[in-house]
A and B are shown apart, each in its own frame.
Chain A
């Protein structure tokens, strides 16, 4: 199946490849592809897919050397590129080596490499098979993608079944510092994962003409088949994430990252890449995500397409989102940048809030023991009315009703506040109070000085208070009856 996929792949004219091929050779950092294999065998330590994120210089150097060797080797035959057969061979080699590099999983090169880079037949199968053994899983040489022409060519090679196709590309030519730089640009890469690893910014544009030429690298090659077996984990993470968040950072050349995760992480379908490529001409916006059950994450330019890195990135984005949210909450956090400092600030703020609660509770305890006695029933009965704003007034009114004469004195003070809403509140209370007291409410626990707490209700919206006042005044008789009922409940 993979073979036929690759058979269908149409590759751009070899001449283009020749051109691009020469680019790397002219680049300062010569990638010695010829050395690549031995280098890989020697130097690449057994690192797992995660390592690519922290790709070391070593890896990059390996990649660089490998690339340069690969580049240099075909150089003599560049002149033959225009030929049909010559380029095929070169391309085969390239792909083989590329596949090694791009394949972090290491088992990519099963069937996939059967693709026919040029229009030739499955001549690639052989070269492909050779790289895999040399390929150690580490190949997180995604940094390697510095070679623009090379990446471009790689893109053409849809036969690269390399799964963990890190879309990371160095903006510059060959691995500059090994850091995946997210330049925010997305490169359109062919669906070939391995090729994508090599994609560089320049490559993207260069690859564009090539991509529509025909790669119909439908499903990823062999490794995808392998992956299909293992996948099942189509993470149901937030799928909207790829659609929503990365969009601003996407350049017109949105790169469809195809990440097929060996370990069952996110996985992109190749056909997505196909769609995108199809739309590439007129559609610069993000193409619609096909309704798959996988997590489709859009890789940003200069970032790896490794499944783990993708997951990491998504997670980091989520955390960043929430950090912004927290930043709004915590006062004075605008100047602070960086996650660690922000988190420290947040922790300090939470601690200070908790300390405040403790302190206030201490204060309350010292106050309460002498004075604060609540009208329990009043509060309880107000539960039913809590939804309405009037409940507050009723609550306050009832509580005030139960105030002792001590509060009555305070009422006068409150009533002097003409302008505030409290005054309106007080009037019903005042009217209620004498009647309440008269009805023998004194046996209820009284809230001494609770009228002072009226001020606390000022923190509620004033409109509410006004409406409450109206209700309070109108319900004066109701209050009395209610208080009577409450008395009974007691």
Chain B
């Protein structure tokens, strides 16, 4: 009896000690999180109800910022731009990375080398990649139009025409991002058990049936991960738009983050910029939730 009681007491002591250590271990992380995330988020919410502009004023103006942004045509234009971008970029990104993953999922000779080549573009920084692509897409002496001229096509002035500017950013960001998503798909494909294919083949299923009823459903978590990251990243597009097209021509590649950056840090309208940033955060949340719904709807068959 006595012995059991003291054992329990010493267990409790060990656990208390363990908890104290744990809190000590996470203190730096939690402290940094509080100073650089929690406080700023709360402040951003507060600032979005003020006319804070760094230099002079900081008055509570209630919902004025939010009322103002309803009529802010440029803001909605940037949202339309980034939606258009996402609608093209996200599905293409998933499709291409999945195809590359399927292509390189076999253990043939040389496949590892191909994986390396497909992965290389993801190592480049947005600024360096965009710098290279400015020259790649040069209307007269660029590589892309040079190649097109071989087959007799006169390529457009990619970056200065309103029709092709956003398409240029789509191409650049696809080039930069399909490699790492391909690796994620490769890992996902490795997790699909072989016996599913074997039994399907015994039942006389063709290759397309195998993909439709086994591979695609089994990859659902992978696709969910890839699509979520792609959506969140796409809606926050900035670096490439800033370097490749500087938001132009005629604002067709200006994105919400770009606009908020200018509003907050060039024009110093930080109160209003905070309100815009919250609208963007809401948009990201809504689209992530929609994506989650779509992924949930397709329950795995097997």
B is a partner of A? no
Residues of A bordering B, CB below 8 Å: none
Q: Which residues of B contact A (CB under 8 A)?
A: none
